[in-house]
Amino acid sequence: MAHTQAAALTSPLRPRLRAVAPDEVDGLAQVAAYLPPGATLLPAPPQSLPTLPGRPPMVGYLVLVPADGRPADGEGPGPTPAPGPVAIDQAQRLARVDGRPLDLTYLEYELLAHLVTHPHRVHTRDQLVTTVWGYGHVGDGRTVDVHVARLRRKLGELRRTIQTVRRVGYKYVP
| pTM score above 0.85 | no
Cα separation, 171 vs 114, whole angstroms: 10
pLDDT at 54: 81
Residue 21 has pLDDT above 60, yes or no: no
Order of all β-strands in the sheet with 94-97: 86-89, 94-97, 100-101
- What are the angstrom distances between the C-alpha of 82 and each of 70, 123, 132? 15, 16, 19
SS3 60: coil
Q: Which residue has the higher pLDDT, 59 or 155?
A: 155
Q: What is the CA radius of gyration of the chain?
A: 20
Mean pLDDT of the chain: 73
Per-residue pLDDT averaged across 91-98, rounded? 88
Contacts by residues 143-149 (CB-CB < 8 Å, ≥ 24 positions apart): 144/111, 144/169, 144/170, 147/107, 147/108, 147/111, 148/111
Cα separation, 141 vs 144, whole angstroms: 5
Lowest mean pLDDT among 83-87, 91-95, 106-110: 83-87
Q: Which residue has the higher pLDDT, 34 or 95?
A: 95
Q: Over the stretch 120-163, which tens digit does the pLDDT of each residue have?
A: 999 988 888 888 887 666 666 688 899 999 999 999 999 999 99
Q: Over the stretch 96-122, which tens digit does the pLDDT of each residue have?
A: 988 889 999 999 999 999 999 888 999
Lowest mean pLDDT among 12-21, 22-31, 32-41, 64-73: 12-21
Q: Which residue has the higher pLDDT, 16 or 107?
A: 107
Angle ∠(131,33,82) on CA atoms, nearest 5: 40
Does an H or E element contain 95, and which? strand 94-97
